[in-house]
Amino acid sequence: MNAPGLTVPAPAAGPALVAARGVVSDAVLTSFRTGLPPSHGSEAVSRSDPWGEDLQLALYLLYELHYRGFDGVDDDREWDPDLLRLRRAIEDRFLHELRGELSEAPKTVESAFAPLLVEPVDLTDSLSHQLETSGELWQLREYAALRSLYHLKEADPHAWVIPRLTGRAKAAMVAIEYDEFGAGRPERIHARLFADLMTDLGLDPTYGRYLDQAPTPLLATVNLMSLFGLHRSLRGALVGHFACVEVTSSPGSRRLAKAMRRCGAGPAAEHFYAEHVEADAVHEQVVRHDVIGGLLAEEPALEADIAFGCAATLLLEDRLADYIQTAWNDKRTALRSGCLHAEDERFSTAVE
């Protein structure tokens, strides 16, 4: 009960629900809307493509209950046993496919991370390099719209690992997350900085706004970190994922900052990536030496899981980059449909 005279503001509504992309995502959305158990279960999951739009969207929707939920969906559905059973079936399928495709991947931290510590000589296949050297403003806008599914909740999935760590690993992880969350200044929270970037690019910075436009490879990259974050048994994989992101972030961010500047995207758009050049260069050292080093000192049996998390991250990020580059090289949008619109005349030219 509220104290007399105290008005408690209503919680902000979550993002709107989107259209289904198959029978499983339709079952999830119908369950969200009606409050009833999902009409399709593990049998439908077993018949669906683990990399397809239907399962990846269904998994994203179920994971989002652990973040900000959805407008009109009861917060208590986060722990609905029927939804959790369906989520587990999709997760098992997803994880099985990942492990199968990465059966020959490195099993040690050194072999997994050593190639990432040297800047490649040939950047032909690098999406950030393409944006830096020849990217157009409409491509930067598409890239930002797609990446917003993660960056508007940047570092949130990784925070789940904190209570699962101890000692040096925990202290180092908290130090990095403190920076990610603005070091005590709300205007410096990285998710807020990305919202400012979106505003500079004439995009809608509303959380979850571009979910309906997100292709499957993008959904898979975000689902991966939620999968690792929500399972204590995958804490090593989450550390591997986080370390991979931090190790590779600084060079890519430098290229993207140059791309934003070259295309006249605006100061906030450039600043988001410029901020990550310096911050992530420091984070890289901390995560490798103290987060990974501290975790291995406490739990050496997790080394293969850390390596797996790194390999899975690279696999899905490479697939996403290939998807986007293929679309752009064919002079078509990387979004699921249509083009991005804005009131600002700078953004009136876009690919259909």
DSSP H stretches of helix in the chain: 23-34, 42-46, 53-64, 81-101, 109-113, 127-134, 137-151, 156-159, 167-180, 190-200, 216-229, 235-262, 267-286, 293-298, 303-329
Classify residue 211 as left (phi > 0), alpha (psi -120 to 50) or beta.
alpha
Domain ranges of the chain: 23-101, 109-347
Measured in degrees and rounded to the nearest 5, phi and psi for residue 98 equal: -60, -50
For domain 109-347, the CATH architecture is Up-down Bundle (1.20)
To the nearest 10°, report the CA torsion of 99, 153, 250, 203.
120
End-to-end CA distance of the chain: 53
With tokens 């994971």, the residue in question is: 63
Query: What's the rounded Cα separation, in Å, for the pair 59 and 88?
Result: 9
Q: What is the model's pTM?
A: 0.92
Classify residue 323 as left (phi > 0), alpha (psi -120 to 50) or beta.
alpha
Side-chain-side CA neighbours of 343 within 13 Å: the count stands at 3
Q: What is the pLDDT tens value at each position of the chain, 352 positions in all?
A: 444 444 444 456 789 999 999 999 999 999 999 999 999 888 899 999 999 999 999 999 999 999 999 999 999 999 999 999 999 999 999 999 999 999 999 999 999 999 998 877 567 789 999 999 999 999 999 999 999 999 999 999 999 999 999 999 999 999 999 999 999 999 999 999 999 999 999 999 999 999 999 999 999 999 999 999 999 999 999 999 999 999 988 889 999 999 999 999 999 999 999 988 877 677 888 999 999 999 999 999 999 999 999 999 999 999 999 999 999 999 999 999 876 765 455 665 544 4
